Structure 1
Amino acid sequence: MKQMDQHLIAIDLDGTTLNNQSQLTSETIRTLRAAAKQGHIVSIITGRPYRIAQHIYDQIGIHTPMVNFNGALAHIPHQMWSKEYEIKLTQELAFDLVNHRQQLGIETITLESKNKFWANRETKDVPEFLPSHLTPKQRLKASNVDEDPITIIIEYQPGHEQEIIKRVNERYGDFVEPSIWGGPYNVLELIHRGTHKEAGMYYLAKQYGISKSHIIAFGDEHNDREMIDAAGLGVAMRNAIPAIKQLADDVTEFDNDHNGLAKYLQKYFKLAI
């Protein structure tokens, strides 16, 4: 393939590449591998931490960079990459919240870096995303936390989100950006201010010399907004929220539970599956 024909294919995971059981279908795996074999750069760009995205990367069987934490980490799994970056928060912020968790209505605080996580308690309230089991070294205390976190995830009591956001903005607003997950969970996530998926997407494109016109991005939710808007071709899933569909350049014919991403790529790149 000529370099000018190479595309960056930026794929969100939940609600996009994964079906409603949070799984990859065999058709999706075959399609992404075929796109990579054509010479395209297939990259996962997800809000998930690496801890719960690595197995998906391995299943697909690609060897290109991935972006985690909504743009705060870019790396190539299982190898050293000289272009890897991390955008971190501070331990000071984390322990300020820990020390005031009762008055702020905070149930669970989880700190996560690329390869480690710590939490003040175990919880089954948010399956997979928050830890249901902790080793002694994963308990959130000063003697265990040996590096700054990339993200802080807060599970709070209903009605306390604005109180937590106010404290974060007043004390750390110059570098911290709070975002509410929404949906059925009372969860607030903190990452470095100005960190969004499109920054990671553009960073990867730059490393491979791929222009904006050759970036195709897929997504379905609020945290895909900047990425969909910034891509040369922003594609919303059939199951995407209305705001993302309105913003996108195109919408897949099928939803995430019917191989929508795979079928779109097959048609767009004329992939034989």
Structure 2
Amino acid sequence: MNKKLIAIDLDGTALNNQSDISKRTVNTINKLIHQGNIVSIVTGRPPRLVENIYNKIGLNNPMITFNGSLGYNPKDQWDQAYEYNIDKNIVFKLLEKSKEIGINLMTVEGKNLFLANKSADTSVGFFPTDLNKDEIISKDNLKENPICLTLHVDKPKKATFIDYVKNNYGDILTVSPWGGPDPIIEVAAKNVSKVTGLNKLADYYNIPNKDIIAFGDEFNDESMIKYAGLGVAMKNGQPKIKEIADDITEYDNNSDGMARYLEKYFKI
């Protein structure tokens, strides 16, 4: 069997619903690497929420974060490392219009950057509940162009916010509302997806499309599921993702669905 590049999403895929990775999954990944395959994390998460999982698996290769906007190797220099940024002045312009376009909370993130406009109520997940002065978005603190903005907006103004960004920055930014009950919206550079990173990895390792296997469960996985020679949707995945996938795991993310699929596919 040819060497494979295996791209793994984290939430809902390699991780269970407690955001943990099982021993079985770690062992399976390491067996595949020992056979000469490449396993790379390709996730929507920022680096701060990935590196502990990366280390738990024992990886030492490049990973893709922020849904394709950042690719780097946490353990070593990678000559193909890259990032797609947002002009920091856009952050300040959005905050100036907070009330008008319904911004409640905003975080700005980069590889080693994490700032927010204010502390969050504990009922709003993801956003920090306790900020120091140097962690608040300001012209003194925000010196670099961020990679990703994540916003909690007022529900009645969700469409207003989306329209504002599209009308003013639609040629350079992509607006992606999260699923779920909270009106959370992600803003990133336009025309960047998980395929952006997966394509970089494939070129770097000189692996043809037919030898790429990609696992995912959510809408942000659609591009790489379509791109891979074998795109595999999780049993617990969104119906649309299962519809476009080449195959579907027999078990869900709480039952080691990805690991079991890989064990069967590679006969390990």
Length-normalised TM-score, structure 2 = 0.97
The match for 2:219 among 222, 231, 235 is 222
Q: Is 1:196 the equivalent of 2:193?
A: yes
Aligned to 1:56: 53
Contact 2:166 2:173 in 1 (8 A): yes
Aligned positions of 1:65-214 closer than 5 A: 65-123=62-120, 124-127=122-125, 129-214=126-211
After superposition, the C-alpha distances for 1:18-37 in whole angstroms (9 at most, x for unaligned) are: 00111111101111111111
Shift of 1:159: 2.1
Q: Work out the CA distance in 1 between the residues paired with 2:35 and 2:75.
A: 23
After superposition, the C-alpha distances for 1:50-70 in whole angstroms (9 at most, x for unaligned) are: 111111111111111110000
Q: Work out the CA distance in 2 between the residues paired with 1:60 and 1:186.
A: 33
Tell me: CA distance 1:250–1:187, structure 2 relative to 1, closer, same or farther (3 Å).
same
Shift of 1:126: 4.2
Q: Work out the CA distance in 1 between the residues paired with 2:72 and 2:31.
A: 22
- Spell out structure 1 runs of 4+ moving beyond 4 A: none
Aligned positions of 1:24-39 closer than 5 A: 24-39=21-36
List runs of 5+ in structure 1 lacking aligned partners: none
Q: Work out the CA distance in 2 between the residues paired with 1:178 and 1:15.
A: 22
Contact 1:109 1:154 in 2 (8 A): yes
CA RMSD of aligned residues (A): 1.1
Aligned to 2:228: 231
After superposition, the C-alpha distances for 1:195-247 in whole angstroms (9 at most, x for unaligned) are: 11111111101100000000000000100001101100000001001100000
List runs of 5+ in structure 2 lacking aligned partners: none
Shift of 1:103: 1.6
Contact 1:175 1:192 in 2 (8 A): yes
Amino acid at match of 2:164: R
Shift of 1:78: 2.9
Shift of 1:79: 2.2
Shift of 1:135: 2.5
Contact 2:101 2:157 in 1 (8 A): yes
Aligned length: 267
Amino acid at match of 2:68: G
Q: Work out the CA distance in 2 between the residues paired with 1:114 and 1:199.
A: 17
Length-normalised TM-score, structure 1 = 0.95
Q: Work out the CA distance in 2 between the residues paired with 1:73 and 1:219.
A: 18
Shift of 1:161: 1.5
SS in structure 2 opposite 1:55?
Answer: helix
